[in-house]
Structure 1
Amino acid sequence: MLFVVLLLFLAVLIWWWTFKFLHPRGFPPGPRLSLPLLGDSLTLGSNIVDGLDKLRIKYGDVVGFYLGPMRAVLISDMAMIQEACTKEEMMDRPMFLPEFRKYLLKNGDLPGIGFSNGINWTEQRRFTLHKLKDFGFGKANLEQVIEDQAELLCQHLRKLSDNEQLVSICNIFEISIINALWQVLTSETIALDDPRIIKINTLLGQFEDVGASPLGFLAQIVPTAAKLADQLGIVKLSIIFNSMEDVCMGAIQSHKADFELGDIPRDFIDAYLQHQAQPESGASFQGEEGISNLVAIMLDLFAAGSTTISLTLTWAVLLLANRPELQKLLREDIHEVTGANRLISYSERTKVPLVEAFILEVQRKANVAPLSLFRQANKDCYFKGYFIPKGTVILPNIGRALNNPEVFENPEEFKPERHIKDGKFSPSPNGIPFGVGKRRCLGETLAKAELFIYVTRLLHHFDIKPENNQPIREIPIPTALSKPYPFKLKLVKRV
């Protein structure tokens, strides 16, 4: 009898595994012995980026596999990435930890832009990009805000580098970048040591650490694992999300109390509240739905515009420290425009091709977010002859596009001149650090301004030198985000 029960149990288990974890006919090539819940995690190993690249090498530019319990497809060819990212059937985002969010849409979907879908995403994205493209909301002019924050940071670094003391540059940019965002969103100028800014930075850092660890990554894609990890205190997702949402809601409530809808908006929150009051604004702006979207957009902007930019700037100063001759050439490029007697503005960026090429090469070499944000098929569809079932997660392999040796000769080398042709800035079609398609990085406009202004200000204020004049290693820590190993610099004042 026991034998029959065990046999029946085994048969049910095999049927369940076949139904749940066997790929359908026509699915892209890839591993075919996925484990329940874990999927192909053991095949990927402890570093998901390296693991996915091994799948690409073995199976090709379109690979089908299981990412935890989710069926997934990795796309690595640039032309294929562009095609996939413009297909309506692959435009959605997968649900991302809704269990830990206070503010959801009435139908249970995620609000905001980063992880919302459908008409909600369309309306919120259109409004937000329009406002960011305008470069300002009344007094909070975006370029001026970034210039002010960059100058404050440089003055802070000048104090730290008195007597040519060594400066630990890792994590130095985050609070400054977040502060610039806070001012654009709230029009409030606050100190770098303000508790709210420090709190946001701490929470973003905790979430970044969660996402970079194998356990944290699994928790993000397996709801049951996420809940268990949160309850056990291993990954405190509920505290991270709730605390950040509370900070954002506090700023919104303050604006609702003192902003008259007929006034000129002072910042993004004012502009949103004013738009929300217009009957023709769209259903996603009305009532509680609108407030939930506003909270989520603030979080999306912090996530999109802080960690990746601060990491890119960290890589920029590291690469500059190892290349004193490049620093000289960049300053000469700038001085041809400014006459060496003033700071260059972001509006003059097209006049300094080497600076633009340097920034793009930093983004290519640093490759801080090699997988971008995931997509999801919203219906059964076909891609390059392969069948992609509804609900399949799509991973655009941006890191491969940025390091494809068929496009970038010797991609492991740092060569800004590869982006210059006939003396002009000429980016490669594969130079896509912000992704492609309608769902490319929300903070692209802001990020480009920040990178240009911070890099040029640092070059203006300092000669950047490595510790003991020994080259700093230019290899990343093996995590989901590309971080350099901790290092220190000597910042020699120039002005």
Structure 2
Amino acid sequence: MEMMRNHYNGVYLFLMTILAMPMVSLLRRHLSYTTACQYFCTISILPVVSLIQKVTKSEECVFQLIGRYGNIFSVQFGNLTFVVVNGYQLVKEALVHQAEVFADRPHIPLLREIFKGGKGRLKQQRKFVLSALKSIGVSFEERIQEESRYLTEAIEEEKGQPFDPHYKINSAVSNIICSITFGERFEYHDSQFQELLHLLAETLLLIGNFWGQLYNAFPWLMRWVPGPHNKIFKHWKKLKYFVNGVIAKHKEDWNSSETRDFIDCYLKEIEKSKDDSISYFNEENLLCSTLDLFLTGTETSATTIRWALLYMAVYPKIQEKVQTEIDTVIGQSRQPMMDDKENMPYTNAVLNEVQRMGNVVPINVPRMATSDTTLAGFHLPKGTTLIPSLTSIMFDKNVWETPDTFNPEHFLENGQFRKREAFLPFSAGKRVCPGEHLARTELFIFFTTLIQKFTFRAPENVELNFEFTISLTRCPKPFQICAVSRC
């Protein structure tokens, strides 16, 4: 029964996580070829549930659906219809070759509600966030190196005994975002910090679960219905109160000639455009941009690192090869740095394979067509919502030699690192993840530092597995490991 629930969660959230509607049915959607009319196939919910019970992995269900109905099909949740796009070539066509067409974001009721105060041109705000992150990016590496030392010390306190790495890793990664946005980090045991992490984690979980999906399906009804979804708004109010307090403190000692963090960057932009009556740079948008960074800047990186430690504990020979490369290139006397990455092909390959198999973001954020277009022979009218499936790429048997096996050789050729075009953990095109550089730096430095200092093993008489849960990300179920010091 538990396994069946896992399978159900996989396909259920593959279809529902981003647009987040309840009760799925893949139904006939009338689209037209340039030469003739064409209908997508109809699937009722019962055959889908039956299929889920028969397969052993959620991605198997995805590929069986693709095998039956093709790489492009439409799905309707409530009153909204969107098109799911599968396979590397088709996703690349949409996100790269037609990047300008699929540049908008669709209306998602729940996100619209919590970000309702943040108004303005999305492109303008996005461009600023990218610019601000780059302007403080020179200190990314140093901040992450410093935090990795704190993380190492926290893990050393476990003295090789079994522990759940979730709390420590999330604290470390969240501290990077705190440092970038607030200009300060928190002690892992700080009560205010832990409340912040709890509110963020539960908000993400609720947005992605059944109740969040119900809200998106029937927002006009769910606003008046009691239920766990109401916690989202209560938590969001507390988060806004916390961030507003930080912004107020920044304003008190703000110096326009000094930029300490993201909030300072934004305050400077507000000051610069204060005489512009149509400027979208204001404190409400600063609040929304800061909260958006927190929502997107912690969960994916922290989850990927947890997957990495789990895979290392399950595959000790691979972990040993990573340690050998670390000892050769870096040694034990200094910390890893990004310049080491090009000299560490095996470690780089392992990290990429962790991202591929971990599949932390099974589907990409939804895109909306800004004009009529054609994709795979189908006419897609303006306003069509597109969902690119990253799972269909990460486990594609036509792309990967052993798609269902953890195999770093996917990213190696003659001992050298091999880039793979179909490796898209951060999406592709103009709407690629704005925090990609930060995420790559976090993954490399945190991972190499931890493997440099510790050997991760399963607790005695415990068999680790790769069972997962899905909210807005695909994350391993809680597990315990032992971190044995190498010093």
- Structure-1 residue corresponding to 2:260: 266
* Structure 1 stretch displaced more, 203-212 or 396-405: 203-212
Q: How far off its partner does 1:436 sit?
A: 0.5
Of 212, 223, 235, the match for 1:227: 223
Q: CA deviation at 1:493?
A: 1.3
Please tell me whether Structure 1 or Structure 2 has the larger radius of gyration of its CA atoms.
Answer: 1
Partner of 1:122: 123
Q: TM-score, normalised to structure 2's length?
A: 0.84
Aligned partners of 1:205, 1:151: CA distance in 2, in Å?
24
Distance 1:174 1:417 in 2: 29
Determine which of 94, 97, 100 is the counterpart of 2:106: 94
Q: Is the 8 A contact 1:463 1:492 kept in 2?
A: yes
**Of 238, 241, 248, the match for 1:243:** 238
Shift of 1:64: 1.3
Deviations 1:385-441 (A, max 9, x none): 212233322111011111111111121111112101233221211110000111122
CA contact (8 A) 2:145 2:335 kept: no
Deviation at 1:78, TM superposition (A): 0.9
Match of 2:211 in 1: 215
Q: Which residue pairs with 1:145 in the alignment?
A: 143
Query: What is residue 115 of structure 1 aligned with on the other side?
Result: none
Distance 1:284 1:452, change over 3 A: farther
2:91 is matched by which residue type in structure 1?
A: I
Q: What SS does the corresponding residue of 2:290 show, helix, strand or coil?
A: helix
Deviates more, 1:293-302 or 1:368-377: 293-302
SS in structure 2 of the partner of residue 179 of structure 1: helix
CA contact (8 A) 2:327 2:452 kept: no
Contact 2:148 2:172 survives alignment (8 Å): yes
Contact 1:177 1:310 survives alignment (8 Å) = yes
- 1:343 CA drift (Å): 1.7
Return the offset for 1:132. 2.1
The more displaced of 448-457 and 56-65 is 56-65
State the partner residue of 2:156. 158
**After the TM superposition, which of the residue ranges 472-481 and 407-416 deviates more from structure 2?**
472-481
Residues 402 and 25 (structure 1), Cα distance of their counterparts in 2 relative to 1, 3 Å cut: closer
Map 1:50-449; keep pairs closer than 5 Å.
Answer: 53-86=63-96, 87=98, 88-96=100-108, 97=110, 98-101=112-115, 103-105=117-119, 120-136=121-137, 141-159=139-157, 161-162=158-159, 164-229=160-225, 231-261=226-256, 263-279=257-273, 286=280, 289-449=281-441
Q: For residue 429 of structure 2, give the secondary structure of its aligned residue in structure 1.
A: coil
* Contact persistence 2:206–2:471 (CA under 8 A): no
Provide Cα deviations, 1:348-388, integer angstroms capped at 9, x if missing partner: 21111111111110000000111121112233332222122
Following superposition, the deviation at residue 200 of structure 1 comes to 2.7
Deviates more, 1:173-182 or 1:24-33: 24-33
- Cα distance in structure 1, aligned partners of 2:135 and 2:140: 9
Matched, 1:26 2:21: no
Secondary structure of the structure 1 residue equivalent to 2:430: coil
| Matches of 1:102 and 1:49, distance apart in 2 | 35
**1:74-109: per-residue Cα shift (whole Å, max 9, x none)?**
11121211121132222111123222335232xxxx
Distance 2:359 2:48 in 1: 23
Distance in 2 (alpha carbons) for counterparts of 1:158 and 1:284: 53
Partner SS state of residue 150, structure 2: helix
Residues 43 and 102 from structure 1, CA distance in 2 versus in 1: closer, same or farther, beyond 3 angstroms? farther
Deviation of 1:219 after TM superposition, in Å, equals 2.2
Distance (Å, rounded) in 1 between the aligned partners of 2:371 and 2:200:
33
Provide the identity percentage. 26
Q: Deviations over 1:177-227 (max 9, x none)?
A: 111111111112322233443233112211232244233223235423542
SS in 1 for 2:282: helix
Equivalent residue of 2:383, what SS?
A: coil
- How many Å separate the matches in 2 of 1:350 and 1:228? 55
- Whether the 8 Å contact between 1:123 and 1:284 is mirrored in structure 2 is no
Q: Distance in 1 between matches of 2:194 and 2:52?
A: 34
Does the 8 Å CA contact 1:94/1:376 hold for their aligned counterparts?
yes
Query: Which amino acid in structure 2 is aligned with residue 430 of structure 1?
Result: A
Q: Which segment drifts farther, 308-317 or 416-425?
A: 416-425
> Aligned partners of 2:365 and 2:427: how far apart in 1?
9
Q: Flag the 1:29–1:302 CA change in 2: closer, same or farther, 3 A.
A: farther
Cα 1:470–1:45 shift into 2, 3 Å: closer
One-letter amino acid matched to 1:99: E
| 2:459–2:481 Cα contact (<8 Å) kept | yes
Preserved contact between residue 321 and residue 466 of structure 1 (Cα < 8 Å): yes
TM-score by length of 1: 0.83
Q: Supply the AA of the counterpart residue of 2:67.
A: I
Which one is further off, 471-480 or 313-322? 471-480
Q: Are the equivalent residues in 2 in contact too, given 1:210–1:235 (CA < 8 A)? A: no
Higher relative contact order (CA 8 A, sep 6+): 2
Q: Which runs of 4+ in 1 moved over 4 A?
A: 31-35, 40-54, 280-286
In structure 2, what is the Cα distance between the partners aligned to 1:394 and 1:44?
A: 24
Tell me the amino acid that sits aligned with residue 238 of structure 1.
F
- Counterpart of 1:207, as a letter, is T
CA distance in 2, matches of 1:392, 1:170: 38
Structure 1 residue 335, shift from structure 2 partner: 2.3
Name the CA distance, whole Å, in 2 between partners of 1:335 and 1:66. Answer: 53
| Residue 453 (structure 2) pairs with residue 461 (structure 1) | yes
What CA distance in whole angstroms lies between the structure 1 residues aligned with 2:30 and 2:278?
Answer: 37
Counterpart CA distance in 2 for 1:399 and 1:180 is: 28
